[in-house]
Amino acid sequence: MSELAVPVNGIGPGLVKVGETHPEMVFVIADNAKAIGGGPFAEKFPERVFDVGIAEQNMVMTSAGFALAGKLPFCNAFGNFLALRAIEQIRTFVAHTKLNVKFIGGLAGVSGGKEGPTHEAQEDIAHLRAVPDLVVLAPTDVVSTEKAVIAAAEWVGPVFIRIGRMAAPVFYGADYTFRIGKAEQHRQGKDATIISTGVMLGPALEAATELAKAGVEARVLDMQTVKPLDEEAVLAAAVETGAIVTAEEHTIIGGLGGAVAEFVCENRPVPVLRVGIRDVYAETGKPEELMVHYGMTTDNIVRSVKRALELKR
Amino acid sequence: MQQSRAELVASLEQLAKDIRLDVVKALYQTGGYHLGPSFSIVETLLALYYYKMRVDPQNPKWADRDVLILSKGHGSAGLYSVLARKGYFPREELWTMKTFGSRLQGHPDMLRTPGVELTTGSLGNGLSAGQGYALAARMDDRPTRVYVIIGDGEADEGLIWEASMSIPKFKLDNLCCILDYNKFQSSGASTGCIMPTLSPIADKWRAFGWNVLEARGHDIGCLMDALDEAEKYEGKPTFIIADTVKGKGLSFTEGDNRWHIGTLTEAEYHQALRELGAEAAQ
C-alpha cells in the first residue's frame, strides 16, 4: 500500500491503451464522459468519439449497433444513469444478445456524495448482477482500474466496470494483470475471511491488522470481479476459515455480500456478515464522512468479524 | 431476361398475398397473434428485401450487406415469413413460430433466427442501434445502408426522439427510418385518442433534421420510389412515412385493432384462406 489516488483516474489511461491496440474501438458517450475518465481518449482519438447528448439509453443502443457491426464500443455514464436508467438496454439488447459492449459506471457508492442520492450508485451491482452473461467488475485502485479496462477489452462479451472518485490507497503495481473472475489474496488467515470489493480493500486490510492484535488471523480477499464470482476462492474461505465478512461500498442487498451469501449457503454454510450500506439511501455529504455514517469503516469490519467468530462457535 | 419494374411490382403484389397466407397459417396453427401489425408492414418488407436491400441469404453475415432492424418487433410474423421466402431458413419452420423450442421466438431474436439483425420487441430501441450500425459502416467506408422500421405507437417512446435528434446530428444519410403509420397501437388509435400530439408527424421529423418522404404503404411501386429517393439523398437521414392500414389484406382485419392481439377462429381462418386465394369459395 502506498499513496492515495482516485480510482476513476485509471479509466483514461486504460481507454487510451485499448484505443492504441484496438483500432476497432469506439467510445460512445452521453455528454458527461470526462467526469468518468473519458478525457484522455477523447483528446487522443477524437474521430472515434460519438456523443449522443444526455441520453444514456441512446448511448447504450448506439453502442449495441456499433458492436453489431463489429466494432468494440465502450460507453460511460454515472452508474445510476447506466445501471438504473439504461438497464433494459443493457439487459435486453447487449447482455441477452451477447454483444461486445463495455460499460463504465461512475460515482460508485458514496464517492459522489457531494451530488446526493440521485447520483450515488449504491445498487448498481445488485441490479446488474442479476443480468445473465454480464461481467461486473469493481476495481480497487487507480492501477487495477486501468488494468480492468484493458481486461474488459480482451474479454469477448459485455462487461460493466463500476468505479468511484473517492481517493483510495494504491495496492497494485504497474506489472499487475487484471484477472476477470479471480480473487486476489492480500493476506493469509485461518480464523475468518474478509472479502472486499472496490475501495473496501484498504479498510479490510486495516481490519485484519487490528484483529491480529487480538490474535485473530483474518484472510483478506480482494474480489474485483463480483460476477462471475470466484467460487473456488469463496469455497476455500468457507472451508478453511469458517467465517466470512464481506465489505462493499454498496447496499448489502444483492451486491458482493449477496453473491457470497448465496453461494456459501448452498455449498458450505458458515456465517456470512455483510458490511455495506444498510437498506437506506445514502444522503449528501463528503464521501469520507458518508463512509463512517453508513458503516463502511475498518471498525465496522472488525466488529463484524468478531460477531462472525461468535456465530461460528 | 431482365424483369421490368412493372413486372417486379406485379410479382411482389402476388408475393404479398403469399406472405399474408403464411402469416395466417402460422398464427392459426400456433395460436400466435400480432396479425394486424404484421400485415401492415408486408409491402414495406417486400420492397426492402426483394427490391432495395443488398443481402445474401446464403451468407447472412456478409459484411457489406444492407441491414434491416424491425424495431417494432411485434411484426415478427411478417418478418419471419419474408425471411423464409428469401431463403434464410426453411419455410416449414414458420409453422413453429412463437412456440417453445422454435428458432422463431415471440419477438425477433438475432441469436436464433438467421436474417434477424437485432433482437427487438421492447419498443423504441431499434433506431438508436441503427445509428450505431450506420456510424460503423461509414467509419469503415462500407456501402451498407441501414433501414429501421418503427411503429407509430412506438413513437410514443422517448428513446425514439433521442435518436431522432442525434441521427441527423451525425448526418447519417446511409440510414433510412420507415414509419409504419397504421394509426393504431395496443389499446387504441395512435394519433387518435392515445397520442393525438404525435401529429404532425412529417413536420416534427423535418424540424429534427430529416429528409421526410411520404408513401402509400401498401403500394409497392410507391415504396420502391421512396426507397430510391432516400438512397440518393445526401447529407441527411431519410424518414419515410408509410401510410398503412393495420391488418391490411383481409376484409375482416383491416383497420380493426382487435387484430393487434386477436387469434383466428376456425371460420375466420377459412375465410382468410379464401380471401387470399388458397381455398375455393364455397
Say yes or no for a CB contact (<8 Å) between A50 and B170: yes
Residue B88 has pLDDT above 80, yes or no: yes
Containing domain of residue B229, as a range? 5-275
The nearest alpha carbon in chain B to A98 belongs to B111
Question: In B, residues 130-159, which contact A (CB 8 Å cutoff)?
Answer: 130-137, 139-140, 144, 158-159
Average pLDDT over every residue of B30-43: 95
CA distances from A137 to A22, A160, A163, B1, B128 (A): 21, 6, 9, 60, 26
Domain residue limits, chain A: 4-169, 184-312
B99 assigned to some structural domain: yes
B149 assigned to some structural domain: yes
Phi and psi at residue B34, to the nearest 5°:
70, 40
Residue B231 has pLDDT above 80, yes or no: yes
List CB contacts (< 8 A) between B148 and chain A: none
What count of CB pairs under 8 Å joins A to B? 101
Say yes or no for a CB contact (<8 Å) between A93 and B136: no
Of A52, A71, A88, the CB nearest to B136: A71
Helices (H) and strands (E) in chain B, counts: 9, 7
List CB contacts (< 8 A) between B62 and chain A: none
Of B144, B159, B169, the CB nearest to A57: B159
pLDDT in the model for residue B209:
98
Torsion of CA A24, A30, A33, A35, to 10 degrees: -160
Say yes or no for a CB contact (<8 Å) between A63 and B125: no
Q: How far is A303 from chain B (nearest CA, A)?
A: 47
List CB contacts (< 8 A) between B159 and chain A: 55, 57-58, 61
**Strand A168-169, strand A4-5: pairing:** antiparallel
List CB contacts (< 8 A) between B135 and chain A: 26, 50, 62, 65-66
Query: Residues A56, A77: contact at Cβ < 8 Å?
Result: yes
Say yes or no for a CB contact (<8 Å) between B132 and A63: yes
The nearest alpha carbon in chain B to A63 belongs to B132
pLDDT in the model for residue B281:
64
pLDDT in the model for residue B192:
86
Q: Cβ of B174 under 8 Å from any chain A Cβ?
A: no
Average pLDDT over every residue of A131-141: 98
Rounded-to-integer distance, Cα A208 and Cα B126, Å? 51
Q: Is the ipTM of this complex over 0.85?
A: yes
Mean pLDDT, rounded, of chain B: 96
B280 assigned to some structural domain: no
B281 assigned to some structural domain: no
List CB contacts (< 8 A) between A58 and chain B: 128, 131, 159, 162-163, 166
Rounded-to-integer distance, Cα A289 and Cα A174, Å? 31
B27 assigned to some structural domain: yes
Q: What percent of chain B has pLDDT over 70?
A: 99
pLDDT in the model for residue B3:
87
pLDDT in the model for residue B279:
81
Residue B266 has pLDDT above 80, yes or no: yes
Q: Band the pLDDT of B282: cuts 50, 70, 90.
A: low
Of B63, B110, B135, the CB nearest to A50: B135
Q: pLDDT, tens digit, for every residue of A223-269?
A: 999 999 999 999 999 999 999 999 999 999 999 999 999 999 999 99
Question: Among all chains, which residue has been given the C-alpha cell 438508436?
Answer: B128
| Overall number of domains in chain B | 1
Say yes or no for a CB contact (<8 Å) between A62 and B135: yes
The nearest alpha carbon in chain A to B167 belongs to A52
Q: For residue B207, give the amino acid letter.
A: A
Could you tell me which CATH class the domain A184-312 is placed in? alpha beta
Residue A1 has pLDDT above 60, yes or no: no
Q: Band the pLDDT of B280: cuts 50, 70, 90.
A: confident
Residue A189 has pLDDT above 80, yes or no: yes
Rounded-to-integer distance, Cα A42 and Cα A35, Å? 12
B282 assigned to some structural domain: no
Upper half-sphere CA count for residue A77 (Cβ side, 13 Å):
27
CATH number at residue B171: 3.40.50.970
Q: Cβ of A81 under 8 Å from any chain B Cβ?
A: no
CATH topology of domain A4-169: Rossmann fold (3.40.50)
